[in-house]
């Protein structure tokens, strides 16, 4: 079916698995797993395009398992808030939608295969991290399905580079040469507006011939209006309650608008202010795909009246002066694009991205050289988890993570460095960081989780002197220096043990 191959979604972002579409079937199915949004989503755009070409209705499936690692009320509620926002947007469109919340482990098994039986084409998200990539792969292999996988992860398509960038500088150089060409291929802001096929009223849960265990997990709009109740109705870790950030595309857009119209101007001077949040706070929404990095860039471009034509030609990897924007915007974009996409590059290129063995050789060597250094203080995972160390500032950061589901970026670096100092080996330090970060942080389990955690152990960094016990040549950070550098009084009061007890009442 060659007329289906031509697409408004760049070929570099699409990959066909299986035999190709035969066009027989009742609907085009979009299986939304990573880009959980209806705007600026290349995968949805492709599904809409296929539905129009085949003159078939579009069905969007957004499902949530309950047996993934670190599943908790916190993560579930955030995701369900996103599902609710998507259901509202889909309900107002011509697309059909099916939101499935697995009520018990295993109940969702076979759902995709069942829906695939009546689908004439299937589009799915291509994401390089956590269990998503494996789940999508296992599904099409096990059921012999044909699917088109679409990459809507970043500004730079995953396949644009064929190597791992081991320094931010190297990726910047690559971006300076190659990114502009990809920026002219933005996803449509509202792909659902382009859907021309008749409305999908015929795609009710009953008409999809779902079995009983599948029907049990189907959510109505009314049920989705109470994400907290839904999240606590499933068997996931309830001791990790909701975080402070609301999930979903509407919440993400509000955060983005507030940031772009206000805090962005003060990003350079105030981003380390612990008392007033000055960063975008958008990482959980980026992680769950509730907002796209393309939409963030579009909002900034709109404000700055910027287009890719403003890019300074011949950039050589410098941090500032390439985008052709002011310093605040360029500093922010360096985080949003260079640092964020470094993680995606690593996760895409190297399936072992979460392993200690992927640290640079110099970092592994220097930590091995200091393996037998005396460790004055060692803390167990549970002591760290419960913020029971002798370091007041570290404890406050850990309480912020546990209670709110986030840590201020500067303290997050200190948090990781201290775990290295207090662990019997650097490998244990990595495991502890991964466990606590991914259990509690709303943006955890992301490529950036591993960038940040392994940055504390030398990834993307260089050797530093003087050589110190335990750390060797790994960049050192201490709470005493952090206290000198940042105003920590208000933060310590907010996340003191007493404040924590109050929050638990």
Ligand X SMILES: Cc1cc2nc3c(=O)[nH]c(=O)nc-3n(C[C@H](O)[C@H](O)[C@H](O)COP(=O)(O)OP(=O)(O)OC[C@H]3O[C@@H](n4cnc5c(N)ncnc54)[C@H](O)[C@@H]3O)c2cc1C
Which residues are at the interface with ligand X (CB under 6 A)?
A: 279-283, 286-287, 335-336, 339-340, 343, 409, 412-413, 416, 433, 437, 441, 443-444, 446, 448-449, 451-453, 455-456
Q: What does the alpha-carbon distance between residue 278 and residue 270 come to, in Å, rounded to a whole number?
A: 6
Q: Which residues of 79-91 are buried (b: 16+ CB within 10 A; e: fewer)?
A: bbbbbbbbbbbbe
Cβ neighbours of 336 (radius 10 Å): 21
Q: CB of residue 430 vs ligand X: minimum separation in angstroms?
A: 10
Q: CB of residue 438 vs ligand X: minimum separation in angstroms?
A: 7
Decide whether 347 or 453 has the Cβ nearer to ligand X: 453
Cβ neighbours of 502 (radius 10 Å): 9
Q: CB of residue 213 vs ligand X: minimum separation in angstroms?
A: 33
Do 47 and 28 touch, CB atoms closer than 8 A? yes
Decide whether 250 or 339 has the Cβ nearer to ligand X: 339
CA neighbor of 270 nearest in space, from 448, 484, 487: 487
Q: CB of residue 255 vs ligand X: minimum separation in angstroms?
A: 9
Q: CB of residue 397 vs ligand X: minimum separation in angstroms?
A: 10
Look-up: residue for tokens 């109940």?
A: 107
Query: For ligand X, which residue has the nearest CB?
Result: 452
Tokens of 366: 């220097």
Q: CB of residue 107 vs ligand X: minimum separation in angstroms?
A: 29
Q: CB of residue 123 vs ligand X: minimum separation in angstroms?
A: 25
SS3 15: strand
Q: CB of residue 168 vs ligand X: minimum separation in angstroms?
A: 9
Decide whether 271 or 370 has the Cβ nearer to ligand X: 271
Longest CA span, the chain: 71
Decide whether 421 or 446 has the Cβ nearer to ligand X: 446
Do 348 and 156 touch, CB atoms closer than 8 A? no
Decide whether 402 or 412 has the Cβ nearer to ligand X: 412
Decide whether 192 or 286 has the Cβ nearer to ligand X: 286
Decide whether 47 or 175 has the Cβ nearer to ligand X: 175
Q: What does the alpha-carbon distance between residue 487 and residue 46 come to, in Å, rounded to a whole number?
A: 49
Q: What does the alpha-carbon distance between residue 142 and residue 178 come to, in Å, rounded to a whole number?
A: 37
Q: CB of residue 284 vs ligand X: minimum separation in angstroms?
A: 8
Decide whether 147 or 255 has the Cβ nearer to ligand X: 255
The answer for residues whose C-beta is within 8 angstroms of residue 5's C-beta and 6 or more apart is none
Do 471 and 421 touch, CB atoms closer than 8 A? yes
Decide whether 279 or 366 has the Cβ nearer to ligand X: 279
- Determine how β-strand 14-17 pairs with β-strand 58-64: unpaired
Taking each helix axis from N to C end, the angle separating 392-404 and 409-421, rounded to the nearest 10 degrees, works out to: 120
Polymer length of the chain = 505
Do 483 and 387 touch, CB atoms closer than 8 A? no
């Amino acid at each position: 079916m060659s007329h289906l191959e031509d697409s408004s979604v760049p070929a570099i972002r699409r990959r066909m698995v299986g035999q190709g579409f035969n066009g027989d079937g009742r609907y085009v199915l979009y299986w939304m797993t990573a880009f959980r949004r209806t705007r600026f989503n290349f995968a949805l755009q492709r599904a809409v395009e296929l539905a129009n070409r085949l003159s078939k209705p579009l069905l969007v499936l957004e499902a949530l398992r309950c047996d993934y690692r670190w599943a908790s009320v916190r993560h579930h509620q955030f995701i369900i808030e996103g599902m609710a926002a998507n259901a509202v947007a889909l309900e107002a469109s011509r697309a059909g939608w099916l939101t499935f919340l697995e009520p018990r482990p295993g109940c969702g098994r076979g759902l995709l295969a069942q829906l695939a039986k009546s689908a004439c084409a299937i589009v799915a998200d291509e994401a390089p991290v956590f269990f998503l990539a494996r789940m999508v792969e296992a599904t099409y292999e096990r059921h012999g399905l044909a699917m088109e996988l679409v990459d809507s992860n970043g500004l730079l398509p995953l396949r644009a580079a064929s190597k791992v960038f081991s320094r931010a500088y190297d990726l910047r150089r690559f971006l300076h040469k190659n990114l502009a060409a990809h920026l002219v291929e933005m996803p449509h802001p509202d792909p659902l507006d382009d859907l021309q096929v008749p409305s999908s009223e015929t795609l009710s849960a009953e008409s999809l011939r779902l079995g009983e265990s599948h029907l049990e997990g189907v959510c109505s709009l009314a049920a989705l209006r109470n994400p907290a109740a839904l999240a606590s109705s499933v068997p996931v870790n309830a001791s990790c309650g909701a975080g402070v950030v609301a999930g979903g595309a509407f919440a993400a857009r509000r955060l983005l608008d507030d940031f772009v119209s206000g805090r962005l101007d003060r990003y350079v001077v105030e981003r380390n202010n612990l008392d007033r949040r000055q960063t975008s706070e958008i990482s959980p929404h980026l992680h769950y795909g509730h907002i796209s990095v393309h939409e963030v860039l579009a909002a900034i471009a709109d404000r700055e009246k910027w287009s890719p034509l403003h890019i300074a030609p011949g950039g050589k990897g410098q941090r500032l002066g390439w985008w052709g924007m002011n310093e605040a915007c360029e500093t922010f974009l360096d985080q949003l694009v260079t640092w964020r996409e470094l993680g995606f590059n690593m996760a895409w290129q190297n399936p072992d991205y979460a392993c200690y063995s992927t640290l640079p050789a110099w970092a592994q060597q220097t930590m091995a050289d200091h393996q037998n250094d005396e460790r004055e203080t060692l803390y167990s995972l549970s002591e760290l988890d419960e913020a029971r160390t002798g370091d007041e500032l570290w404890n406050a950061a850990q309480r912020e993570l546990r209670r709110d589901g986030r840590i201020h970026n500067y303290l997050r670096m200190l948090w990781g460095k201290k775990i290295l100092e207090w662990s019997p080996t650097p490998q244990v330090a990595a495991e502890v960081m991964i466990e606590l970060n991914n259990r509690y942080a709303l943006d955890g389990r992301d490529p950036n989780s591993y960038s940040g955690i392994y940055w504390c152990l030398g990834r993307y960094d260089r050797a530093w002197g003087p050589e110190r016990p335990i750390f060797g040549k790994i960049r050192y950070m201490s709470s005493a220096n952090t206290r000198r550098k940042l105003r920590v009084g208000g933060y310590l009061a907010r996340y003191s043990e007493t404040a924590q007890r109050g929050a638990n009442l």
